[in-house]
Structure 1
Amino acid sequence: MKKILILFSAIFFSQIAISQAPIQVEKSGEGNPIILLPGFTTPGSVWDETIENLSSTYETHVVSYAGFNGLEPIGTPWYTPIKESLIDYIKTENLTNLTIIGHSMGGNLAVDLAEAFDTNLSGLILVDALPCMRELMMPGVPASSLQYDSPYNNQMIEMQDDAFKNTALMMARNMTNQEDKVEMIAGWSIAADRKTYVYGYTDLLKLDLRPSLENIQTQTLILGATFPTREMSQQTFEKQYANLKNKTIELADNSKHFIMFDQPEWLYSQINNYLAKNAQ
C-alpha cells in the first residue's frame, strides 16, 4: 500500500519563504477519497484501526495538526490556518466524491469543509463532535469574552509539568472507559506544544458553527457517545444540530468520547454501512 506524507502550508508554494505547515497529511490506498480528521491533541494515527476495518477500498487522507503529534507549532490564531490549509489541500488534490470523517474538533473542521465543498461531497460523518462546545461547557458566555491573554490561560501556560500531567490524566479518564488507553490519551496532551494546547483550545471555545449547518445539504451521520447518560446526549446532539437538515443521529452505548476505543466494532459498522450507501 502506497503511503505519501504531505506537508501543507497556508502560504502559497510560489512564495520563497514557507512557514511551518499547519497540517500534515498521510495519503494511502486507492479508490474514492476519505479525509480523516482527529480531535484536539490527537494524532492522525487514532484512525489506523478504523481504516483497517473499512469494508471497501478507499484513498485515505489522514491529517495531523501543527503543535501536536511532534509537529512544530504555528502560533495564533491556530484553528483558522488549519481550516484554510485543508481547503487548499482539497483543491490542490482535486478531491471529488469525497467523504469527510471528523472526531471531536475534527468534526468542527469537517463542518467547515462541508460548508465549503458541500456539492462535491459524497459523505460527512461526525464522531462525538459539537458545533458549539462553548454553549455546552460555558452556557451564555459570549465568544468575545474569551481571550488568549487570560488568568486561566496564563495559569495553564505556567503550570508545572507534574501538575499538568495530573490534569491531563484526569481529563483522559473522562474520555474513555478503557483504562489501558488513559495514559496514551493523556500523553498526547503532555507531549503537545503547551501554547498550542492552551491557545488552540481558546480558538475552539470561540467557535459556533451552528449557523453554518443550514448551508450543508450532505446527508450527515452523527455518531455520539452516551456519556454521561443516553438521554442527556440525545438532547444535546438534537439541540446542537437542529439547523442541520439531512442527518441521522446514532449513539454508542457504554462509550465516552473516544468511541473508537470504547465501541470500535459499533463504530466500524456504522461507518461501513454509511459508506456503502453514500461513498461508492
Structure 2
Amino acid sequence: MKKILFILSTLLLVQPILSQSPIQVIKSGEGNPIVFLPGFTTPGSVWDETIENLNGTFETHVVSYAGFNGLESIGTPWYAPIKQALIDYIKEEKLTNLTLIGHSMGGNLATEIAAELDVQGLIIVDALSCMRELMMPGVPASSLQYDSPYNNQMLNMPADGFKNTALMMARNLTNKEDKVELIASWSIAADRKTYVYGYTDLLKLDLRPQLENITTDVLILGAAFPSKEMVLPNFEKQYANLKNKTINIADDSKHFIMYDQPEWLYNQINSYLTKNAQ
C-alpha cells in the first residue's frame, strides 16, 4: 500500500513559515479516516501492527512528534503547538467521520481534539486525563516549572546514566523483555530538552473539565498493572465527567498494551470500529 508523507508546514501564524513542524503524519489507505496518536517519545510506527490487524478499510493518519523519532525539536512550549498542529491538520485535510485512537499522551491529545472538534469515535489507550493528580496528589500545575532541580538533573545526566534510567523505566512499561530496549531507545534518541520539558507540559495537564464537551461514545482501554482492582477505580474517577464511555482493562499487561496483549487490543478496537466507524 502506497504511503504518502505529509509534513505540516506551519506551526502558528506568529512563527516563521519555514519553522519546524510540531508533527509528522504518514497517510495511507482509503475509507473513513483514523488518526493514530502515539505516546510520549514513541514513534507513530508503534501502531503498525494494530493497523495491519484492522477489520475493514480505513484511511490511516499516523502521527509522530517533533523532538522524537528523529524529528527536530520545536522548543517550548511543546505540547500546546502539537495539539494545535493536529487540529489544523484535521481541518486542512477535511477529515470527516473521524476516529481518534491515542495511546498514553496520544490519548490526552485525542481527548482534547474530541472536546474541540466533531469526531465520530474516540479510543483512549492507557491514558489519564490528569496524571499529576495520581502521581503528585494535591500539587498545583502552577508549581511545575521548566527550571527545576529535577529537570536540570535530567538535562545534565551523562549518556550512560540516562540510558540506564531509560532501561529501568522501560521495564515498567511492558512485560515483553524483547521490547524493553526498543522502548528505551526512543527516550535515548529523543531530543533531551524535549524529553525533559515536554514531560513537564504533560504533568501540567488536567483535561477533566473538558470531558463534558465530548459527546461521542468513548472506549477507554487500560492496563491491569499493578492490578485491575487498583487501576479500574482510577480510570472511573479520572473520566467521571465523560458522558458516554466504556472502560475495559487488559489483564496481564503493562502500559504498552499493543505489545503485552496485542490480540486483545485488536479485538477491542475492531469491535468499537464496527459499531462506530464503518
**Residue ranges of structure 2 left out of the alignment (5+ in a row):** none
Residues 135-190 of structure 1, C-alpha deviations (whole Å, 9 max, x = no match): 11111100000000000000000000000011000100000000000000000000
* SS at 2:120 equivalent: strand
Aligned length: 277
* 1:18 counterpart = 2:18: yes
The DSSP-based 3-state class of the residue aligned with 1:121 is: coil
Distance 1:29 1:17 in 2: 29
Contact 1:28 1:59 in 2 (8 A): yes
Indicate the residue corresponding to 2:35 in structure 1: 35
Identity between Structure 1 and Structure 2 (%): 77
Q: Which residue of 1 aligns with 2:200?
A: 202
Counterparts of 1:4 and 1:82, CA distance in 2: 20
| Letter in structure 2 aligned against 1:10 | L
Please state how far the C-alpha of 1:122 moved relative to its aligned partner. Answer: 1.3
Render the CA deviation track for 1:208-234: whole Å, top value 9, x for unaligned.
000000111110000000001101110
Deviation of 1:4 (Å):
1.0
In structure 2, the partner of 1:138 is 136
**Alignment deviations for residues 79-108 of structure 1 (CA, whole Å, 9 cap, x no partner):** 000000000000000000000000000000
Q: TM-score, normalised by structure 2?
A: 0.98
Runs of 4+ in 1 over 3 A off after TM superposition: none
Matched, 1:96 2:96: yes
Q: Counterpart of 2:12 in structure 1: which amino acid?
A: I
Alignment of 1:97-246 (within 5 A): 97-117=97-117, 120-246=118-244
- SS in structure 1 opposite 2:36? strand
Matches of 2:82 and 2:125 in 1, distance apart?
A: 19
Contact 2:12/2:81, CA 8 A, preserved across alignment: no
Do the aligned partners of 2:33 and 2:59 also contact (CA within 8 Å) in 1? yes
Q: TM-score, normalised on structure 1?
A: 0.97
Whole-Å separation in 2 of the counterparts to 1:64 and 1:266? 24
How many angstroms does 1:17 deviate by? 3.4
Q: 1:244, 1:10 → 2: CA distance?
A: 30
State the shift of 1:7 in Å.
1.0
Is residue 29–residue 59 contact of structure 1 (8 Å, CA) maintained in 2?
A: yes
Query: Distance in 2 between the 1:66 and 1:191 partners?
Result: 12
Deviations for 1:192-211, whole angstroms, at most 9, x for unmatched residues?
00000000000000000000
In structure 1, give the amino acid aligned to 2:267.
S
Shift of 1:11: 3.3
CA distance in 2, matches of 1:218, 1:162: 46
Cα separation, partners in 2 of 1:51 and 1:150, compared to 1, 3 Å: same
| Distance in 2 between residues matched to 1:166 and 1:55, nearest whole Å | 39
> 1:93 and 1:2 mapped to 2: Cα distance?
18
What is the CA–CA distance in structure 1 between the aligned matches of 2:260 and 2:248, rounded to whole Å? 15
Q: CA deviation at 1:12?
A: 5.0
Assess if the C-alpha contact under 8 Å between 1:128 and 1:225 holds in 2: yes
TM superposition shift of 1:2? 2.4
> Which runs of 5 or more residues in structure 1 are unaligned?
none
Is the 1:11–1:18 contact (alpha carbons within 8 Å) kept by the matching residues of 2? no
